[in-house]
Amino acid sequence: MVMGGARSLENPRTPGFYVAEMATPHRLSQRWSTPNDVAIRVAGSRWKQAAQDRGFWNSYKRPMSSSGRLAVITFSIATVALGVILSFVPWLDYIIFKELKLWNGSLSYSYWQRPGVIRLTKVYIFNVTNPQGFLEHGEKPKLNEVGPFVYREDMEKVNIKFHDNDTVSYQHNKILRFVPELSVDKTQKLVVPNIPLLTVTSFSPNLAGWLFNLLVSGLAITYRERAKPFVHVTAEELVFG
């Protein structure tokens, strides 16, 4: 039994012992303590004492030396001065003007002179399957789509000349190269309307009879078998004339 103001210890040699003290008749404080807790507290206090002996804790409390403060001030002044200099020099405008200016040797000149974009042109031709029926019997023309005939378009600017008045003159060279792996056979014969002859006949109402006959005769002599409403041509002949 514990009385007021007295302290009682029971079995102090056991692994855990009970400590109870009565500060006042109305207040009771209890604590459970083990040897492991005591060992941890002792080890922690020893480590702290060793760290203090080696100056570990005091290293954070050392004031900055005069040389350190001078280095910080110098670095701050240099940073501010560099920022002021860069703000007055239009570096960005200079770089953009240098790279985008159209002159021989700049980055934009190489892309402008020969664009690196691959451009493919696909051609589809409508083949007339009943030319005789259309001419002799008045049938509606039957069309069959043939294609694609794919051509790669290479563009290049040649004869480039820069003038003193900040202008440039050049010639635009465009080359179409046939791409067989993406196309159908370009040598097959196709039946298409004779566009030059149809163009001449479209003006016949406005021409005199003798003049119209003269034009038709001239076409017949010049083109011979091509002086017909429909002609047999290949895709390459139709595209490139």
| The one-letter amino acid at 84 | V
CA distances from 184 to 12, 129, 145, 153 (A): 104, 18, 12, 18
Residue 156's pLDDT is 85
Residue 49's pLDDT is 62
Where are the chain's structural domains? 7-60, 101-240
| Pair of tokens at residue 63 | 């004031």
> What is the number of helices (H) and of strands (E) in the chain?
8, 8
Q: pLDDT tens string for the chain (241 positions)?
A: 444 444 444 444 444 444 444 444 444 444 444 554 544 554 556 655 655 555 554 555 556 667 777 888 888 888 888 877 777 666 667 676 666 677 777 777 878 888 877 888 898 999 988 888 887 787 888 888 988 999 998 888 888 888 888 788 888 888 888 888 988 888 888 888 887 777 766 666 555 556 666 666 666 555 555 567 788 888 888 877 6
Residue 124's pLDDT is 92
The span from the CA of 130 to the CA of 133, in Å, is 5
Write the CB contacts of 88 (distance below 8 Å, at least 6 apart in sequence).
Answer: none
Query: pTM (2 decimals)?
Result: 0.47
Show the 3-state SS of 131-156. HHHHHHHCCCCCEEEEEEEEEEEEEE
